[in-house]
Amino acid sequence: MSSIRNDYKKMVFYQIWVRSFCDGNGDGIGDLYGVYDKLGYIKSLGVDAIWLCPVYPSPNADYGYDISDYKNIHPDFGTLDQFRKVLDKTHELGMKLIMDLVVNHTSDEHPWFLESRKGKDNPYSDYYIWRDKPNNWESLFEGKAWEYDETRGQYYLHIFSKKQPDLNMDNPRVREEVKSIMRFWLDMGVDGFREDVINFISKKEGLPDGIPFVPAVNGIFNYKDGPHIHEYLSEFRKVCEEYDCIQIGEGPLTTVKTALMYITGKHKSLDMMFSFDHMMADCLFTEYIHRPFSLKKLKHAFSKWQYSINGKGWNTLYLENHDHPRVISRYGSERFRRESGTMLAASYIFQQGTVFIYQGQEIGMTNIRLRDIEDYKDISSKTNFHKYHLKDTIEARLRRIHLSSRDSSRTPMQWSSARYAGFSSVRPWFNVNPNYKRVNVAKDEKDPNSILNFYRRCVALKKMSRTLTYGQYREFFPDSEQIYIYERTLGKQRWLIICSFAKHPVRVHFPREYAGKKNQLILCNYRETDKNDLCFRPYEARIYRFPAGDEKSQLTD
Ligand code: GLC
Ligand code: CA
């Protein structure tokens, strides 16, 4: 058996948001029976590991990120037995599986909270953060970050929704609980964790007021990367060191500087972190504060993380997940869906780092447009709609939601052109994107030039080449508003990845040191390409190899 700790740098992950992936038992909700059925499909992408978004019991105030029992499976998704079956088959297929670890907060329906709210003498009293008087922090999801609890006669802190009270990680008993949760899943055989908002778990002592500079995040500097964060994470790290597993941190607004503190050096307590910078090429802080897409911003974010982490730690690479709208609708073009979907794949997969693909991204799913705010499910979309830009027309506000809602990545996976996109035999829990007849797995399987098959080719190529996996990254022409060019080099091996973000043809130049050099065009998202004609068609992407010149030089180097 391969070791995830040794191999994660060359692995490709597939992220599953189970509720919308595949309904295996015909109740309209995606589940672990559906995941089981589709493991072969996932494997066929060339994927090495799966990240399962939370599958634990949850009242779904935040769709699984509000957990009411950490050591069980949500009945909507199946049973612990079914989970074991998924895990075993994943392993049989030679893949790994990591879970979502959500320990900044629980659900308010978690037994710990039900006890804690009973009173100050309760054994669980200090499991959460209680105060007689709230500070000025605002929650990221709804209103003030404090909610008054009648029974206890105090306020509790919730950085996310009211139904997600923050755990008091300063309490050693809470940390023991976290370790016990980790062991529970690791003992069962899971291969690691994606750790949710892990940079929020240690709050500044005394919980001082924040600076009210941007609504909703005014307290962030008092709870992000807090004073005991390394201490707590190193306790969790010790548990992981007893197993063959990895830890990937998610931290909103993480800068590359702080990421390096978590993934390198004496405080190293995570293997990788997710960057948020490249998710802000068309917005400020959140997708809700929309700006026109800027390729320069995107490239700057990509390169910053590539240069800063190279040689010190290891990057994660992603363009989509369950928290962001679909990338074609943001950085590409729905009109040039196939072209921009394939180009975007090449733009990130060949960078240095571990690749993540989010369900539906590989077939170019796009944002959904719903008519009424009531049709949306996501709590943050609803809050944004009701809280901001109230002077705008309803249409304008809905347009913002259409551009920004997390729900766009949570519509049912489009498997075929059958009713309900082949996701379920009955009406699904959430709207299917009406484009499913054009955009689905079955259709893409049949078309050698589909987005799906291009993803397969990119994944296969990346995994084949040591240079594309471990090589150095360098960007050229950072000021171009149309073209993204980067190289990957290892020893004498050189690859050049050229992506056009333009809707019209553009003439491209090789960087000076590549001009006139012998090259091979290894991959392109258009058919019939003359490798020497550098006029790029809309959203064209090409991957060139510049062989080292000696006869021993192989594609695999
Ligand atoms: C993370 C999750 C997101 C969730 C939030 C609160 O950002 O990815 O889906 O809403 O944490 O748990
Ligand atoms: Ca189901």
What number is the average pLDDT over the span 75-81? 98
- Ligand 1, atom 2, lies closest to the CA of 196
**What atom in ligand 1 is closest to the CA of residue 321?**
8
pLDDT at 549: 74
Looking at the CA of 37, name the nearest ligand.
Answer: 2
Looking at the CA of 101, name the nearest ligand.
Answer: 1
What number is the average pLDDT over the span 527-536? 94
How far apart CA 201 and CA 270 sit, in angstroms, is 14
Give 523's pLDDT tier (boundaries 50, 70, 90): very high
pLDDT at 212: 80
Q: How far is the CA of 247 from the centre of ligand 2 (A)?
A: 29
Asked if residue 156 belongs to a domain, the reply is no
How far apart CA 193 and CA 179 sit, in angstroms, is 12
How far apart CA 169 and CA 539 sit, in angstroms, is 47
Backbone region of residue 503 per phi and psi (left: phi > 0; alpha: psi in -120 to 50; beta: other values)? alpha
Query: Whose CA is closest to 35, among 46, 56, 13, 51?
Result: 51
Q: How far is the CA of 251 from the centre of ligand 1 (A)?
A: 9
Q: How far is the CA of 124 from the centre of ligand 1 (A)?
A: 25
Helix segments in 438-529, DSSP class H:
441-446, 451-464, 466-470
How far apart CA 452 and CA 454 sit, in angstroms, is 5
- Please enumerate in sequence order all residues whose Cβ is within 8 A of that of 278, keeping only pairs 6 or more positions apart, or say none: 298, 301, 302, 305, 319
Asked if residue 115 belongs to a domain, the reply is no
pLDDT at 286: 84
What number is the average pLDDT over the span 253-279? 96
CB atoms under 10 Å from CB of 391, counted, come to 7
**What atom in ligand 1 is closest to the CA of residue 160?**
6
Give 325's pLDDT tier (boundaries 50, 70, 90): very high
Domain that residue 488 falls in: 472-546
pLDDT at residue 1 above 80? no
Asked if residue 271 belongs to a domain, the reply is no
- Out of 19, 159, 197, 248, give the residue to mutate to test ligand 1, the one with the largest number of ligand atoms within 8 Å of its CB: 197
8 A C-beta contact, residue 533 and residue 498: no
* Residues involved in catalysis: 196, 250
Asked if residue 523 belongs to a domain, the reply is yes
Mapped onto helix, strand or coil, the DSSP state of residue 500 is strand
How far apart CA 66 and CA 54 sit, in angstroms, is 9
pLDDT at 213: 73
pLDDT at 285: 82
Written as one letter, the residue type at 405 is S
How far apart CA 182 and CA 186 sit, in angstroms, is 6
Strand partners, 515: none
Asked if residue 489 belongs to a domain, the reply is yes
pLDDT at 216: 79
Asked if residue 541 belongs to a domain, the reply is yes
At CA 15, angle to CA 14 and CA 17, rounded to 5?
145
Strand partners, 71: none
CB atoms under 10 Å from CB of 552, counted, come to 6
What number is the average pLDDT over the span 105-112? 98
Q: How many domains in the chain?
A: 1
DSSP state for residue 205 in the 8-state scheme: T
* 478-502 pLDDT per residue, tens: 999 999 999 999 999 999 999 999 9
List, chain by chain if needed, residues with CB within 6 Å of any ligand 1 atom: 62, 65, 102, 160, 196-197, 250, 252, 322-323
Asked if residue 24 belongs to a domain, the reply is no
Q: How far is the CA of 83 from the centre of ligand 2 (A)?
A: 14
Give 553's pLDDT tier (boundaries 50, 70, 90): confident
Q: How far is the CA of 65 from the centre of ligand 1 (A)?
A: 6
**What atom in ligand 1 is closest to the CA of residue 66?**
12
Looking at the CA of 20, name the nearest ligand.
Answer: 2
How far apart CA 103 and CA 114 sit, in angstroms, is 17
* 135-175 pLDDT per residue, tens: 999 999 988 999 999 999 999 999 999 999 999 999 999 99
- Ligand 1, atom 7, lies closest to the CA of 197
Query: Whose CA is closest to 536, among 344, 348, 349, 339?
Result: 339
- Mean pLDDT of the residues in the chain: 96
Strands (E), 102-243: 130-131, 146-149, 154-157, 192-195
pLDDT at residue 332 above 90? yes
**What atom in ligand 1 is closest to the CA of residue 380?**
10
Asked if residue 500 belongs to a domain, the reply is yes
pLDDT at 392: 95
CATH code for the domain of 528: 2.60.40.1180
pLDDT at residue 54 above 90? yes
* 197-249 pLDDT per residue, tens: 999 999 999 999 998 877 778 899 999 999 999 999 999 999 999 999 999 99
Q: Is the dihedral of CA 262, 267, 269, 271 positive or negative?
A: positive
Measure Cα distances from 6 to 97, 270, 424 in Å: 15, 14, 38
pLDDT at 521: 97
- Please enumerate in sequence order all residues whose Cβ is within 8 A of that of 448, keeping only pairs 6 or more positions apart, or say none: none
